[in-house]
Structure 1
């Protein structure tokens, strides 16, 4: 199995960069909850072991990696709210969360590696969009781990306030049980009203 490595970061160093941040977001597809982004600047001399696309790691390995990243790297996590998602659309909201994560780092990076095929338009820092970046760059992989663990934690907290939707296991994604609960229990303030399954329930009368 190919693992992400540090070669994209090293390439940026060779072109004069000194602080390279990996940026990723999680939570575009769910019907509920915020979209969450993380920006991570790894220490080249202290890269945690086992970094990989967060979807490829077990929950236990993700947790271990998460702690190691927080202990060794410059990290910022940021969100765009459900209201913002409904207001400006999910793509722009995910880009807004990415921009906030980059802005929140303790030192400004001079180059960004961004997961996906688009560079958020608000970013003023030289950047490269890397398709499937979490499988290619350890910095993006680290950002994907931090964003996923943080967002899953938010959804677990919300699941206790709004039981019955299964957010502790589906993290707000449109699983069968989540859609069934929507029909039975109705729409919460944390549901994205611009998303079709939610919109349809609200306006079926």
Structure 2
């Protein structure tokens, strides 16, 4: 079975209109921590090696490629907080993080190609791409940046809240995280609107 690798074809198709940014997010599913989006405009003449869906790369490989992306492309990161997730829901918070990532780019993109099927409200013309991180090099780059930034944030939060193993599970509902919740309860960094956390809060009310 042939391995499908992301290409620059989508970017080339939109290049006539101006700069093309790939956008992706990390952290929609975890029970704790923010959601992070990244926007990346690649230089077609200097594309970093190894771009792929961030989930298919080891942590060490992701971090190395992320450094190369930052050195050779325009990069912006947008974050939506736990409070925003609880206030407007995770989908809308993801869209907010994406809009912030787009807004932070040094060059305004003419087109944004975005991973997924649900369209955020962006200033640039927007094309949604299902499994875009496996299709588009720009989206793959954005997925790597978003994932590495969020992982760093969760490792930092783990230093202040060491009982949930966020440095390993990044806020997902892994057994060590569940055990921490059972023993030490909910922190300010937990998403209170998510069903497992909401259930704990109701049981302890």
Aligned twin of 1:83? 83
The aligned residue for residue 171 of structure 1 is 170
Using the alignment, how far apart are the partners of 1:3 and 1:99 within structure 2?
27
Partner of 2:146: 147
Q: Which runs of 5+ in 2 are unaligned?
A: none
Correspondence for 1:7 among 6, 9, 15? 9
1:87-102 correspondence to structure 2 within 5 Å? 87-102=87-102
Q: Deviations over 1:120-160 (max 9, x none)?
A: 12x12111000000000000000000000000000000001
**Matching of residues 1-205 of structure 1 within 5 Å:** 1-13=3-15, 16-121=16-121, 123-205=122-204
* Whole-angstrom distance in 1 between the partners of 2:4 and 2:60: 20
- Distance in 1, matches of 2:123 and 2:42, equals 21
Alpha-carbon offset, residue 17 of structure 1: 2.0
SS state of the match for residue 100, structure 1?
helix
Alpha-carbon displacement from aligned partner over 1:41-64 (angstroms, at most 9, x marks no partner): 000100001100000011121112
Deviation at 1:18, TM superposition (A): 2.0
CA distance in 2, matches of 1:22, 1:5: 12
Query: Taking structure 2 as the reference length, what is the TM-score of the superposition?
Result: 0.97
- Distance in 1 of aligned mates of 2:8 and 2:77: 21
CA distances 1:148-173 after superposition (whole Å, capped 9, x unpaired): 00000000000010011000000001
Once residues 73 and 30 of structure 1 are traced to their aligned partners in structure 2, the CA distance between those partners, rounded to angstroms, is: 28
* TM-score of the superposed pair, with normalisation by structure 1: 0.97
CA distance in 1, matches of 2:193, 2:118: 22
Count of residues paired in the alignment: 202
Quote the Cα distance in structure 2 between the aligned partners of 1:154 and 1:124: 27
Moved over 3 A (4+): none
- Cα-Cα RMSD: 0.8
Helix, strand or coil at the partner of 2:17: coil
| Superimposed CA distance per residue, residues 79-114 of structure 1 (whole angstroms, 9 cap, x where no aligned partner) | 000000000000000010000000000110000000
